């Protein structure tokens, strides 16, 4: 059973690409995305200079004063929003019309709930297994008021985080790549860019990259199979929701190669395998010829 | 305190101080008073970030550690986060905001006794709490998994 219409690509004979565009604009999406890190770096450098700090080679502001961190974050968000707005305009479409086409109303919306449920199911199952094995420890790790505040805001954070990332990486980048490359190549590049983007800023650990690659692959295939953003948004939001909601109660005792780390439980061997199985389990529902 | 955990060595001027407490928590002022001038250079770790504190100590970045009481140290020991043997070898000094009573008399045996009995009691309580938490987490995760599995099965029917 196939629940949605898969997105068409240049390699699919007899099908019209779901997102049309002329040849010149075919690499626009990739170029726009690649422009974000330099903008972030220039923004950071200008902010550092203005505040009397030396410029840095890497993008990273975790050790800077709060006002600089906020300003830095605003530069990043501004660059992302600009990419989201500019891309449809360059194609001669209004942003609303472009993104609404990737978010069709009616039955396809259920795919978001389906993706969310699948993500919650898999995360609950692997945490259940880790709980039995003693790889995670559960306790109340924050003050009650903070936990309540966090639990209230988590659904909004999950929706916002998943929404923005899916619009950018699937709605702009992957949709653009699918117009220029065969589907496997577009998915591979899309997943690679998604994973790489999580390491543009200075981060604590880099060994989580394979987990991000697998997640990117899962979300890219979810988009390709359904032709809409609902399923990837649901999976992505479900993951963020579960991880953020569990954070005040979970300590990952490891080993790290099994459980991943902190906010990356999908980065260990178990998490990567779970993501692969999750992706495979979606194929009969949404994949071509399912 | 002169507990066995504390080695009587000179603290170099560059030694760094770590505090396991919330800097905005109820004990923060008492810690600052105890630390005195060292409070400015102290690195604070919320109790949930015990792993980070251990990492800093293991790397040699921290030399003097301040805990609220014996229990707050033992929590980390029993969870396998702190390696006291290694810390002793590194010459790490440990101080408590509320030292065990019997350690105040300077007698090593009494202090050791206090630590061991504290360890025993903490271990017993810790294992009880851990079993309870594991069971609670298992039940809650099971409920989430069952509900999610139901949704995964039923939602595709609504999409037909």
List all residues 6 or more positions away from B86 whose beta carbon is below 8 Å from its beta carbon.
B58
Q: What's the gap in Å between the CA of A8 and the closest CA on chain B?
A: 21
Q: Which of residues 136-155 of A touch B (CB under 8 A)?
A: 136-139, 141-142
User: Between A and B, how many CB-CB pairs are < 8 A?
Assistant: 70
User: Domain boundaries in chain A?
Assistant: 23-286
Closest CA in chain B for residue A130:
B138
Q: Which of B47, B149, B156 sits opposite A114 (nearest CB)?
A: B156
User: Domain boundaries in chain B?
Assistant: 17-135
pLDDT at A102 over 90: yes
Lowest-confidence range among A60-64, A142-146, A160-164, A204-208? A60-64
Q: Is B151 on the interface with A (CB under 8 A)?
A: yes
Q: Is B145 on the interface with A (CB under 8 A)?
A: yes
Mean pLDDT of the region A43-51: 88
Higher pLDDT, A286 or A213: A213
Global pTM reads 0.74
**Inter-chain contact B144–A107, Cβ cutoff 8 Å?**
no
What percentage of chain A exceeds 70 in pLDDT? Answer: 90
Q: pLDDT for A212-243, tens place per residue?
A: 999 999 999 999 999 999 999 999 999 999 99
Q: Which of A120, A137, A249 sits opposite B148 (nearest CB)?
A: A120
pLDDT at A275 over 90: yes
Mean pLDDT of the region A177-195: 94
Find how far residue B156's CA is from the centre of its chain: 47
Q: What is the pLDDT of residue A174?
A: 96
Q: What is the pLDDT of residue B110?
A: 61
pLDDT at A40 over 70: yes
Q: Name the 3-class secondary structure at B123.
A: helix
Cβ–Cβ under 8 Å, residues B54 and B82 = yes
Sign of the dihedral through C-alpha A68, A73, A76, A80: negative
Higher pLDDT, A140 or B112: A140
Q: Is A125 on the interface with B (CB under 8 A)?
A: yes
**Inter-chain contact A120–B144, Cβ cutoff 8 Å?**
yes
Closest CA in chain A for residue B144:
A124
Q: What's the gap in Å between the CA of A127 and the closest CA on chain B?
A: 7
Mean pLDDT of successive 10-residue segments in chain B (160 residues)? 40 70 90 87 89 90 91 81 82 84 59 65 76 91 94 86
Closest CA in chain A for residue B81:
A253
Report CA dihedral (B94, B95, B97, B99) to the nearest 10 degrees. 100
Q: What is the pLDDT of residue A82?
A: 94
What percentage of chain A exceeds 90 in pLDDT? Answer: 58
């Amino acid at each position: 059973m196939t629940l949605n219409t898969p997105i068409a690509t240049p390699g699919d004979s007899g099908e019209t690409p779901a997102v049309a565009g002329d040849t010149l604009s075919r690499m626009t999406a990739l170029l726009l995305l690649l422009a974000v890190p330099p903008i972030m770096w220039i923004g950071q450098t200008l902010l550092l200079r203005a505040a009397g700090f030396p410029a840095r080679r890497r993008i990273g502001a975790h050790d800077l004063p709060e006002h600089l961190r906020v300003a830095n974050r605003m530069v990043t968000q501004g660059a992302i929003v600009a990419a989201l707005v500019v891309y449809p305009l360059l194609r001669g479409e209004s942003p609303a019309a472009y993104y609404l086409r990737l978010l069709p109303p009616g039955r396809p919306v259920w795919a978001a709930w389906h993706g969310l449920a699948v993500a919650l199911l898999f995360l609950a199952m692997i945490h259940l297994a880790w709980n039995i094995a003693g790889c995670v420890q559960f306790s109340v790790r924050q003050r009650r008021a903070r936990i309540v505040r966090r639990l209230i805001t988590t659904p909004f954070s999950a929706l916002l985080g998943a929404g923005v990332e899916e619009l950018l990486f699937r709605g702009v980048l992957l949709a653009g790549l699918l117009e220029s490359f065969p589907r496997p190549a577009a998915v591979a590049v899309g997943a690679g860019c998604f994973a790489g983007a999580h390491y543009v800023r200075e981060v604590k650990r880099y060994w989580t990259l394979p987990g991000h690659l697998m997640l990117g692959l899962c979300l890219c295939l979810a988009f390709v199979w359904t032709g809409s953003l609902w399923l990837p948004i649901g999976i992505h939001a479900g993951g963020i929701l579960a991880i953020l909601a569990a954070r005040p109660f979970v300590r990952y005792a490891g080993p790290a190669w099994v459980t991943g780390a902190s906010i990356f439980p999908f980065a260990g061997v178990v998490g990567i395998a779970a993501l692969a199985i999750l992706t495979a389990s979606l194929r009969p529902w949404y994949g071509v010829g399912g | 305190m002169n507990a066995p955990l504390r080695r009587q060595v000179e603290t170099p001027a560059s030694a760094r101080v770590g505090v396991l407490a919330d800097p905005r928590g109820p004990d923060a002022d008492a810690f600052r008073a105890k630390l005195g001038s060292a409070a400015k250079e102290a690195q604070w770790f919320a109790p949930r970030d015990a792993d980070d504190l251990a990492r800093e100590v293991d790397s040699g970045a921290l030399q003097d550690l301040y805990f609220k009481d014996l229990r707050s140290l033992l929590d980390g020991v029993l969870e396998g986060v702190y390696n006291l043997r290694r810390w002793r070898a590194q010459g790490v000094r440990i101080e408590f905001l509320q030292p065990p009573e019997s350690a105040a008399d300077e007698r090593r045996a009494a202090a050791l006794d206090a630590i061991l009995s504290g360890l025993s009691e903490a271990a017993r309580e810790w294992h009880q709490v851990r079993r309870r938490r594991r069971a609670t987490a298992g039940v809650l995760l099971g409920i989430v998994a069952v509900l999610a599995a139901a949704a995964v099965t039923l939602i595709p029917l609504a999409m037909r």
